[in-house]
Structure 1
Amino acid sequence: MNIVILGAGQVGSSLAEVLANENNDVTVVDIDRLHLQRLQDRLDIRTVFGHASHPDILMQAGLEDADMLIAATQNDETNIVACHLAQLMFRVPTKIARVRGRSYLEHPELFNRAENEKAIDIDLLISPENLVTNYILQLIAYPGSLQVIDFHDGKLRLVAMPAHEDGLLVNKKINTLRNHLPNHIKTRIVAIYRKDEIVMPTGDTVIRTGDEVFFLAEPQHVPAIITELRQRKEKPSRNIMIAGGGNVGFHLAQALEKTHQVKLVDHNMNQAREVAEKLNNTVIIHGDISDKDLLLEENIDEIDLFVAVTNSDEANIISGMLAKKLGVRRVIALVNNQSYVELIQLNGIDVAISADRITTSNLLHHTRQGDTVKAVTLRRGAAEAMEVVAHGSENTSEIIGKTIAEIPWPSDITVGAIIRNDQVIIAHRDLEIEAEDHVVLFLTDPNSTSAVAELFATSKPSWFSWS
């Protein structure tokens, strides 16, 4: 695909790297020459210096030949105007805009031509802040989880959990899992992350202490499976402290305050006041989240979960490590600088999340050929999960009518499950693919996505000919 990205910040750069590595033709536009030069030094991409919403700059970027525009600058208005011009001047097929302002997000009809013919034609509005908020809420729903991903509107869930030494499955083969679960609970362990490597499991693979285990199951069955990996039952996070009253912190508190005891700390007096006016049951504290005395005064040792989501990586890291040292059971920190992530997870912070990684994951399926409806990176890009729809018939598809064992999958792919007419079927060798099945795959090599697209592609039957 020919893709133009506006903005070479964290989100734009992360997208450019992923898309360039998948052999797309990528052009990045930015007003910062240094950012552009750094990208060009390490990636095979084209760069254009200039303002992202100027018509002449968009023309230089080659928008007339683009299949997709991703407007990901820091300015909402720039992104919206650029998408509008992309439609008016170049008829770009797919236009995606990063938008942070709540007012825009609360009025999606302004950007939907299907509902309003006078609307600005944007195919997708994406808010990294909303994505991060929803991601954290999923982690809170499953205490101890490292990553939670939904497929097909939540009918199937992928959960990553650390295996603790007292877990029932630890030091046992995966195929013994069925002995510990009720017959109606079906699951599949699709991958294990062990000592910086992805292990593609078989029934004879032994789970070790410290493994990060990725398993698929229906949402209602997830808690029972987690118990097998963690013998001690993780307590729900009742008392929560949030560091930062920006978009993420505010929306987290708003979502949690009816069912949890929530405290929110912000160093900015005006922002603290604004948040206090909009929240009903959250305790708002003005102060420095890295102040040990403040944390002790607020009974930090009684906090079950500490979530650091300020605009500063450094503040999130320091406050998270301090909170852990002072007795908080679990810490989640927003950290966008990838060079920090491995370091901090060895020093007390349980889960480090990245807004640009989450945003990139939520955009991936829009850049894929074929019928990929979801593509999500796992373990900071070490692996990927995909949901792909099987279209066609036995005459036009290489996979429909064949069992999983008969299909020539790339060696690095595991078929996890199939969703068929709202029914979840855990994959096995003799399971036959039918038309319109949603197939959930796990890949350890992102370069295999093109092979997946070829397998799922449809073609005209051999007897077809033009008359």
Structure 2
Amino acid sequence: MNVIVIGCGKVGTALASQLVAENHNVVLVDMSAEKLDKVSQDIDAIRLVGNGASITTQREAGIQTADIFISVTNSDELNLLCCLIARKVGHCHTIARVRNPIYSNEIGFIKEQMGISMIINPELAAANEISRVLRFPSAIQIDTFAKGKIELLKFKVKHEFGLDGLSVMEIDNKYHCDVLISGVERGDEVAIPDGKYIIHDEDMVSIIASPENSAAFFRKIGLKTNQVSSTMIVGGGTIAYYLARLLESMKIRVKIIEQSRERCEELSEKLENTIVIHGDGTDKNLLIEEGLGTVESFVTLTNIDEENVFLSLYARDNSDAKLVTKVNRLAFDELISRMDLGSLIYPKYITADYILQYVRAMQNSIGSNVETLYHILDGRAEALEFRIRDESEVTSKTLMELSLKSNLLIAAIMRGGKITIPRGQDRIMCGDTVVVVTSQKGLHDIRDILK
């Protein structure tokens, strides 16, 4: 497809990179030639200096033949204007990033009146992601397929689980929970394991299962499966506001520590059941006084990555709280991911992933049958959801009879609402939803799983 991306900040660059990797034709537009020059040469996109709201610039970018127009500049109003003009000049789907909470109750009206296909709010998306892991604190990351009926969960193996030295097959035989170990991260190494692969303490393990079966597996190995009852949030920005609202609706007790008195007063007015503390969240004594030692989850949402990292390290050593750490800059993400900071939240990645899901859903109508795609194992593998619409060389045969590509697992099959972790005798049938985990990039059709 032909895609125009307005704004080459972190989100725009991440989007362009992934869209190019998925074989779309991308034009990246920004008013700053310097910013465009800094975009990696590995991203094979056309770079155009200009104002995305200009009809001349949009025509130069190819708006007449564009399938999707995405505006992710730092200005909500500019993004909306860009999309409005794109709708008038071209005949494409339009996506706008809109961050200001003032617009959050008006999104439906804005979309309808301006004809915008999708509006993404990065802070609300990040808050939703955090609330999901606080519902299931044992998991470091949770992604969903088949409208939530299949989950991909990542957790860290601890000594008390009794998994050290067991093969994947032995774990399956011991616990009988119908879960599939689909990926393992060990230091800098990643693996899509077979049945003989040995699990060790400190491994990061990804499993695929139904929510019920994953919960049963976690209970059997001694991991907590119920949601947290309390959380402490450091930083009272927009994500904190959305998150507190979500957690209040989940009956979770919330305490926010914020340095700005004015912001504290604003949050106190908007959040009925949240305790808002005016103070410095980096003050260790204040954290202890406000209950760090007994709180069940601790979320760092300041605007400074270093503060978030150090706060989470301090909380790790002084509490048993579930940790959630927000990271904005991506330059040191590999280093940060090795620091045991609980669940890492990258708002820029989340925003890009939401938009990419929409792009893929659009692509389904013109040939591809990839419904959902997540990057896993530190970005070195993918988990894809396929909807099987037609008979092919993949359907009706047993999995054992299929000649599959290497480093590829058929992880789950949903048929008639029932989830199966498939074995060699199972078959893929028309109408199924199939989840595949692979380090092979560029799969667009279920037939691509074959050698």
TM-score (structure 1 length as normaliser) = 0.88
Query: 1:15 deviation in Å?
Result: 1.0
**Counterpart contact for 1:198–1:444, Cα < 8 Å:** no
CA contact (8 A) 1:398 1:455 kept: no
In structure 2, relative to structure 1, the CA distance for the partners of 1:149 and 1:28 (3 Å cut) is: same
| Cα offset, 1:351, TM superposition | 2.5
2:301 alignment counterpart: 309
Question: Is 1:306–1:328's contact at 8 Å kept on the other side of the alignment?
Answer: no
Which residue in 1 is equivalent to 2:381?
A: 383
Q: Aligned AA for 1:159?
A: L
Q: Is the 8 A contact 2:138 2:224 kept in 1?
A: no
1:288 aligns with 2:280: yes
Equivalent position of 2:158 in the other structure: 164
Structure 2 residue ranges without an equivalent (≥5): none
Deviation at residue 333 of structure 1 after TM alignment: 0.8
The residue matched to 2:374 in structure 1 has which SS?
strand
Identify the match of residue 358 of structure 1 among 336, 344, 350.
350
Partner of 2:137: 143
Report the RMSD for the aligned CA atoms in angstroms: 2.4
Contact 2:138 2:225 in 1 (8 A): yes
The CA deviation string for residues 324-353 of structure 1, in whole angstroms up to 9 with x for no partner, is 344353321110222333333444522222
Shift of 1:173: 1.5
**Unaligned residue ranges in structure 1 (runs of 5+):** 114-118, 457-467
What is aligned with 2:420?
425
Structure 2 contact 215–225 (Cα < 8 Å) conserved: no
1:301 deviation in Å? 2.1
Select which of 300, 319, 341 maps to 1:327: 319
Cα deviation digits, residues 191-231 of structure 1 (max 9, x gap): 21222222121222111111111111111222221244x54
* 1:236–1:389 Cα change, 3 Å: closer
Alpha carbons of structure 1 residues 347 and 366: separation in structure 2 relative to 1, 3 Å: closer
Return closer, same or farther for 1:380/1:50 CA change in 2, 3 Å cut-off.
farther
TM-superposed CA distance for 1:88, in Å, is: 1.4
- Secondary structure of 1:171's counterpart equals coil
TM-score, normalised to structure 2's length? 0.91
C-alpha spacing 1:367/1:413, structure 2 compared with 1 (3 Å) = farther
The counterpart of 1:209, out of the listed 201, 207, 211, is 201
Q: Which amino acid aligns with 1:373?
A: E
Question: 1:136 corresponds to which letter in structure 2?
Answer: I
Write the distance in 2 (CA, Å) between the matches of 1:378 and 1:339.
18
1:67-466 mapped onto 2 (5 Å cutoff) = 67-92=67-92, 94-112=93-111, 119-181=113-175, 185-228=177-220, 230-231=221-222, 233=224, 237-257=228-248, 259-327=251-319, 329-347=321-339, 349-368=341-360, 369=363, 370-392=368-390, 394=391, 397-445=392-440, 447-450=441-444, 452=445, 455=448
Q: Counterpart of 2:159 in 1: which secondary structure?
A: coil
Sequence identity percentage:
29
Deviation larger for 264-273 or 287-296:
287-296
Q: Secondary structure at the match of 1:428?
A: coil
Cα distance between partner residues in 2 of 1:235 and 1:390 = 34
- C-alpha deviation, 1:277, in angstroms: 0.7
Q: Is the 8 A contact 1:40 1:47 kept in 2?
A: no
Letter in 1 for 2:379: G
Moved more, 218-227 or 276-285: 218-227
Q: Does the CA contact (< 8 Å) of 1:300 and 1:328 recur in 2?
A: no
Amino acid across the alignment from 2:330: Q
Between 1:432-441 and 1:219-228, the stretch displaced more is 219-228
Q: Which has the higher contact order (CA 8 A, sep 6+)?
A: 2
1:232 is displaced (CA, Å) by 5.9
Equivalent pairs counted in the alignment come to: 443
1:121 to partner: Cα distance: 1.7
Q: 1:72 Cα deviation (Å)?
A: 1.2
Q: Which residue of 2 aligns with 1:21?
A: 21
Q: Give the conservation status (yes or no) of the 8 Å contact 1:238–1:304.
A: yes
Residue type of the partner of 1:26?
Answer: V
1:236-283 C-alpha deviation (Å, 9 max, x unpaired): 533311012222111211222362332101122222111111112211
The amino acid of 1:253's aligned partner reads A
